[in-house]
């Protein structure tokens, strides 16, 4: 059977651009899959948010891992896990690669910030970078620990976020590629894709470039393709749609005369039953009954 | 400090009707709280759905417990946990009451179906009831195990769901009250509240009545009040709104030229940051710095 | 890379008798491996005991699964998981087979008791059997759900424990083999192996026989071999040795003048460091430093 | 009902010296309780060891928390949790204090090493200290987050371990007391208690002193008392006894003719049944049957 890491590699080799949809639990992951995305992003901002805790290394690796594992269990397309800073030093990275790979996760992303980190898009937050040397150590630890060569180690460069500038970003990206990273995620909090495109135009590495256009949300898919970007992560749109919809519904429902007033905002029970394979139980029960009867009972 | 069980009791004693909003993770629970509901319902249908598994006793008590505990951690209003059939016999019920009460959950609901159960609203499913005697055993086990008398044991009567009729429903409700239940949840899958109102009109017990009007969704809040119903659970509307919103967004996003096309469907990053107390970190850091400086550093 | 299920199959095909050592956490599992046993038994009696809860279906599948998964993570020899009654009906069994197989567990055992069950060796406990037909349903569900044909489904026959007699035991064992079981675990609480040997002499099935000689502890390994028994599980001896040693040590230590008085009862810190690969960290750090330097840092 | 934190405070106020026994799961915790110790130490070295991973911040807070919580669930005496460095910065410490206090843990210890840390007794390991200022920040964060004033924050001083000397140790201990710590754990890896006694003789603080005499194991309990030491933690002796006993048993068992050869090394099944309250189930069943009958069934 093809591993999820192999599936991810195959998609990267065969498509112009890979669309990765953000998820935070098995249902959102399954909806990403059902909508036609290529892969799933188990993002730590969104997973922190559904736990109502800050995106600041408050949840532990165990909790992020459980969330990503449940997505793998529920879905057929590959899951890429956002592993923040790697939850410690090289020893922690080794441990996590073994755990995540064993669980059928297709790849991970680790970023070159200092632990504990804060969300990259938060204003006035501290976004201190780890030294290049120390992060290279984590990349080496990660690549050495993987057993399937297709398990993807994405090195996330936070130099533009932290204000260290383009040269630092390019220098680090090259260093991480040399250290064995399988892809570079270059992150930006600008409202336009200008610095991202400046990066990709200067970049002469061989490994794929990944972007997360949360803030430069008007960038067009064709522009990403023409700038040699291979994976685009829609990291938190599902979360924000869910939050918006529930907020609106609840503020109406709390004062509604009856539930009927909010009916048009909701999926039917039937749609949820289908998502959770509720009807398959019936089918499987019938098949099982048939087999049991065939055995003479 | 007032226990959550005490808070729930106080609301019941002071309000005409208690509105309980369904949640499945800490974010949805916090939104329920923020919207002005009185309490939170940690429902097993919704929690199963976000795990993309059938509502058929597939998730374990551990997983339902973790979900409810995270809601307690995040919220100030009381959390009531849907505990299906109690996950086994009287010994399992004793274990769960101790665990749930220790975790600050305000009350639990257990239902008189046979384990493993299937969702009550699923057509053509088996909804076999446990014998009244055996379920009375579970209620006694539950009431004996609680340490705070305010910890609420809700006995859920499934006689109307299973087609056993009104007399059976009334007989069982009385038996469960006698056995020590603190409230009766009478469940129905009719499109109208008729059988529920027939029940409440015939019911002469002293403990509060709880309903879940998922199917009879046009019933008005005033009708519930005038029929002596004390708690109304909006069990799965948040889930269904979240599912609908994500489905719509994703089907647009997968073919969109840019994220901008779906912007109006989403909450801002800022709203999520507020929900997860991201800005409190900044405030707390500043306060901490001040205190550290006061100590002479 | 060879799967753990394949490893287990290979040992069964190549050895006269397979010695399976009982474990309850990763350390005990690793000690079983280090001592030369062929495989590890993640037993629910022992796992319940270290959680200080009765062996009576109190812990959930999640908790048993986590314990077995940690053994797989730590060890190279195959882990067989004791899954009690399968934690519900055929749907639960399907779910567990998928989960356990994904986690690299080599095989599972499910038994034909009614859920919730009690430990088979407890006197005066209820040991009601599920109907043969219903258990055959579970076996079919299990075999259909496995993806690797080598993943081993062990059907545990409790007819002798429950007092239903030899004919019932043989009839059920045959039925379970026909339904697709990969091995039969025939359990007994007699002080001698007589009824076990009577079973194996009458048994004409093709799949391997497994025994757990907790009570008939004087049976010799050669006798097991000569009675066509293929796997012997030493289910709880590690647990009981650990319990005995800690009890003795603690009763001395609580009144001791100094720790020195109990030194001879303990492994050294060094032995523990080795078990937990504490020194490997040092080695790996040195190798990593070397590689980082080679990259020019 | 008296909180566990209150129980711990009461023992400290009433006894000459508090004996704290190390545990790593609920069974070892219960044995510590049954043997007459005053409190339980949920130590991270031992908990790491039973997971067969290095004591180097590899396990996450979630895993250490689960282990300590299970001890609280099983025992009546207070549990003190070893929280290493606090698993991050002040925000992580705030989160952990809330979680641990809610779970009924009586107190925590955090140490002034840099995260990720390594075991203090490991030779040639790096034992870098956090700056005094930064650790004071963690202590303030901890004390501010607790809701019950009796929840005990133990500040563990690693200056002697790291080779920074006695003056640094005393200076830090004073700073931590000033910052609000409830006790000072002064750690040493010397073979004699000399430096510990030098510390206690120079120490003029008001809060209790805690020691862990793993290496200076010949120190007498009377010496500890006469040197103003209030709590002594026997951190890892249970673990090492368990490891030794299982190693010996398994090396015999793997080549034994029958289990009987190792019988004298083991507790009986009966002793385990008692530890896990297996017989209580029977008693409770009988009581429950009686009550059910009294209700007329």
For chains A and C, what is the number of CB pairs under 8 angstroms?
Answer: 59
Handedness of CA A286, A290, A293, A295 (dihedral sign): negative
Using 50, 70 and 90 to split pLDDT, how confident is the model at B282? confident
What pLDDT is recorded for position A99? 97
pTM of the complete model beyond 0.80: yes
Residue of chain D with shortest Cα separation from A114: D88
d(CA D231, CA D184) in angstroms, rounded, equals 10
Please check the confidence at residue A227 and state whether its pLDDT lies above 80: yes
d(CA A26, CA A77) in angstroms, rounded, equals 12
Touching D (3+ Cβ pairs <8 A), the chains are A, B, C
Looking at the complex, report in whole angstroms how far the Cα of residue A272 sits from the nearest Cα belonging to chain D. 31
At B248, list the tokens: 């719509």
Touching A (3+ Cβ pairs <8 A), the chains are B, C, D
What pLDDT is recorded for position D235? 98
Rounded average pLDDT over C33-43: 98
* Catalytic site residue from A25, A55, A82, A182: A55
d(CA C133, CA C112) in angstroms, rounded, equals 10
Please check the confidence at residue A80 and state whether its pLDDT lies above 90: yes
Q: CB-based contact (8 Å) between D76 and chain C?
A: no
**Tens digits of per-residue pLDDT, D74-86?**
999 999 999 999 9
Using 50, 70 and 90 to split pLDDT, how confident is the model at C121? confident
d(CA C56, CA A168) in angstroms, rounded, equals 60
- Residues of D carrying an active site annotation: 55
Please check the confidence at residue B126 and state whether its pLDDT lies above 80: no
Say if the Cβ atoms of A288 and C98 lie within 8 Å: no
Using 50, 70 and 90 to split pLDDT, how confident is the model at C168? very high
Greatest Cα pair distance, chain D, in angstroms, is 75
At C232, list the tokens: 């012997």
Using 50, 70 and 90 to split pLDDT, how confident is the model at D122? confident
Please check the confidence at residue A101 and state whether its pLDDT lies above 90: yes
Q: CB-based contact (8 Å) between A116 and chain D?
A: yes
What pLDDT is recorded for position B215? 97
Say if the Cβ atoms of C52 and D27 lie within 8 Å: yes
Strands C79-82 and C107-111: parallel
Strands D107-111 and D152-157: parallel
Question: A110 pairs with which residues across the strands?
Answer: A155
Q: CB-based contact (8 Å) between D201 and chain C?
A: no
* Catalytic site residue from C10, C13, C25, C55: C55
Touching C (3+ Cβ pairs <8 A), the chains are A, B, D
Looking at the complex, report in whole angstroms how far the Cα of residue B192 sits from the nearest Cα belonging to chain D. 35
What pLDDT is recorded for position C126? 77
Minimum-distance CB partner of D91 among A58, A63, A95:
A58
How big is chain A by its Cα radius of gyration, in Å?
A: 21
Minimum-distance CB partner of A179 among C136, C137, C295:
C295
Residue of chain B with shortest Cα separation from C95: B58
Say if the Cβ atoms of B116 and C89 lie within 8 Å: yes
**Tens digits of per-residue pLDDT, B6-49?**
999 999 999 999 999 999 999 999 999 999 999 999 999 999 99
Picking from D289, D291, D294 by the largest number of B CB atoms within 10 A of its own CB, the best residue to mutate is D291
At A173, list the tokens: 């990206």
Place of tokens 């698993």: D87
What pLDDT is recorded for position A121? 87
Helix (H, G, I), strand (E, B) or coil at B183: strand
Name the DSSP class of D255. Answer: T
What pLDDT is recorded for position D126? 77
Please check the confidence at residue D31 and state whether its pLDDT lies above 80: yes
Q: What share of chain D is helix, strand, coil (3-state, %, to 5)?
A: 50, 15, 35
Of B275-284, C197-206, D190-199, the one with minimum mean pLDDT is: B275-284
Q: Give the number of other Cβ atoms within 10 Å of residue A279's Cβ.
A: 16
Please check the confidence at residue A224 and state whether its pLDDT lies above 90: yes
Q: Residue C274: is it exposed, middle or buried by C-beta count within 10 angstroms (0-12/13-18/19+)?
A: middle
**Tens digits of per-residue pLDDT, D149-194?**
999 999 999 999 999 999 999 999 999 999 999 999 999 999 999 9
Phi and psi, residue A216, nearest 5°: -90, 65
Of B46-50, B112-116, C125-129, the one with minimum mean pLDDT is: C125-129
Say if the Cβ atoms of C91 and B58 lie within 8 Å: yes
Strands D183-186 and D152-157: parallel
d(CA A57, CA A116) in angstroms, rounded, equals 5
Using 50, 70 and 90 to split pLDDT, how confident is the model at D112? very high
Place of tokens 């206690």: D200
Q: What is the mean pLDDT of chain B?
A: 96
For chains B and D, what is the number of CB pairs under 8 angstroms?
Answer: 59
d(CA A170, CA A176) in angstroms, rounded, equals 10
Strands D79-82 and D209-211: unpaired
* Catalytic site residue from B13, B25, B38, B55: B55
Candidates B38, C223, B51; CA nearest to A74 is B51
Complex confidence, ipTM? 0.97
Please check the confidence at residue C6 and state whether its pLDDT lies above 90: yes
Interhelix angle A237-253/B26-34, rounded to 10 degrees, is 40
% residues pLDDT > 70 (chain D)? 100
Q: For residue A67, list chain B residues with Cβ-Cβ distance below 8 A.
A: none
Say if the Cβ atoms of B175 and D99 lie within 8 Å: no
d(CA C194, CA C196) in angstroms, rounded, equals 5
**Tens digits of per-residue pLDDT, C263-285?**
999 999 999 999 999 999 889 99
Q: For residue C91, list chain B residues with Cβ-Cβ distance below 8 A.
A: 54, 56-58, 116
% residues pLDDT > 90 (chain D)? 94
Helix (H, G, I), strand (E, B) or coil at C21: strand
Instruction: Judge contact between B226 and B251, C-beta under 8 A.
Output: no
Q: CB-based contact (8 Å) between B54 and chain D?
A: no
**Tens digits of per-residue pLDDT, B56-94?**
999 999 999 999 999 999 999 999 999 999 999 999 999
CA distance readout (Å), B28 to A160, A247, D156: 34, 9, 39
Residue of chain D with shortest Cα separation from C252: D35
The answer for D 137-196 residues in CB contact with C (under 8 A) is none
Q: Give the number of other Cβ atoms within 10 Å of residue A15's Cβ.
A: 12
% residues pLDDT > 70 (chain C)? 100
Residue of chain C with shortest Cα separation from A103: C103
Q: CB-based contact (8 Å) between D115 and chain A?
A: yes
Touching B (3+ Cβ pairs <8 A), the chains are A, C, D
Question: D6 pairs with which residues across the strands?
Answer: none
Q: CB-based contact (8 Å) between A52 and chain B?
A: yes
Q: CB-based contact (8 Å) between B119 and chain A?
A: yes
Strands A152-157 and A107-111: parallel
What pLDDT is recorded for position B121? 87
Residue of chain A with shortest Cα separation from D54: A91
Minimum-distance CB partner of A276 among B49, B265, B269:
B49
CA D283 to chain centre: 33
Q: For residue D63, list chain A residues with Cβ-Cβ distance below 8 A.
A: 60, 62
% residues pLDDT > 70 (chain B)? 100
Looking at the complex, report in whole angstroms how far the Cα of residue B154 sits from the nearest Cα belonging to chain C. 21
Q: CB-based contact (8 Å) between B240 and chain A?
A: yes
At D74, list the tokens: 């099983």
Q: What is the mean pLDDT of chain C?
A: 96
Q: What is the DSSP string of C94-147?
A: HHHHHHHHHTT--EEEEESBPSSP--TT-TT---PBPPHHHHHHHHHHHHHH-S
Rounded average pLDDT over A196-219: 98
Looking at the complex, report in whole angstroms how far the Cα of residue A227 sits from the nearest Cα belonging to chain C. 29
Instruction: Judge contact between D209 and D229, C-beta under 8 A.
Output: yes
What pLDDT is recorded for position A184? 98
Please check the confidence at residue A126 and state whether its pLDDT lies above 90: no
Say if the Cβ atoms of A73 and C297 lie within 8 Å: no
Say if the Cβ atoms of B288 and D133 lie within 8 Å: no
Please check the confidence at residue D97 and state whether its pLDDT lies above 80: yes
Residue of chain B with shortest Cα separation from D96: B73
Instruction: Judge contact between B75 and B56, C-beta under 8 A.
Output: no
Using 50, 70 and 90 to split pLDDT, how confident is the model at D51? very high
Minimum-distance CB partner of B259 among A34, A234, A267:
A234
Say if the Cβ atoms of C276 and D53 lie within 8 Å: yes
Say if the Cβ atoms of B63 and C63 lie within 8 Å: no
d(CA D157, CA D188) in angstroms, rounded, equals 9
Rounded average pLDDT over A99-127: 91
Q: CB-based contact (8 Å) between B236 and chain A?
A: yes
Say if the Cβ atoms of A217 and B258 lie within 8 Å: yes
């Amino acid at each position: 059977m093809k591993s999820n890491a192999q599936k991810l590699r195959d998609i990267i080799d065969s498509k112009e651009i890979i669309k990765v949809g953000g998820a935070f639990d098995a249902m959102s992951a399954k909806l990403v899959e059902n909508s036609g995305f290529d892969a799933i992003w188990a993002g730590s901002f969104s997973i922190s948010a559904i736990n109502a805790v800050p995106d600041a290394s408050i949840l532990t690796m165990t909790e992020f891992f459980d969330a990503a594992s449940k997505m793998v269990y529920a879905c057929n397309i590959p899951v890429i896990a956002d592993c923040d800073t790697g939850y410690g030093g090289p020893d922690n990275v080794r441990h996590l690669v073994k755990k995540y790979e064993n669980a059928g996760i297709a790849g991970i992303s680790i970023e070159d910030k200092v632990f504990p980190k804060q969300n990259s898009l938060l204003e006035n937050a501290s976004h201190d970078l780890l030294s290049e040397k120390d992060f290279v150590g984590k990349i080496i630890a990660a690549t050495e620990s993987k057993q399937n060569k297709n398990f993807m180690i994405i090195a996330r460069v936070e130099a533009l976020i932290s204000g260290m500038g383009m040269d630092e970003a390019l220098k680090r990206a090259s260093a991480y590629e040399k250290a064995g990273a399988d892809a570079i995620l270059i992150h930006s909090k600008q409202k336009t894709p200008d610095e991202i495109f400046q990066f990709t135009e200067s970049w002469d590495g061989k490994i794929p470039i990944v972007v997360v256009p949360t803030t430069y949300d008007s960038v067009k898919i064709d522009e990403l393709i023409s700038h040699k970007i291979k994976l685009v992560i829609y990291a938190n749109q599902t979360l924000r749609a869910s939050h918006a919809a529930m907020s609106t519904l609840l503020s109406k429902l709390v004062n509604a005369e009856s539930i009927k007033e909010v009916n048009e905002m909701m999926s039917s029970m039937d749609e949820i039953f289908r998502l959770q394979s509720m009807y398959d139980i019936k089918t499987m029960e019938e098949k099982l009954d048939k087999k049991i009867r065939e055995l003479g009972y």
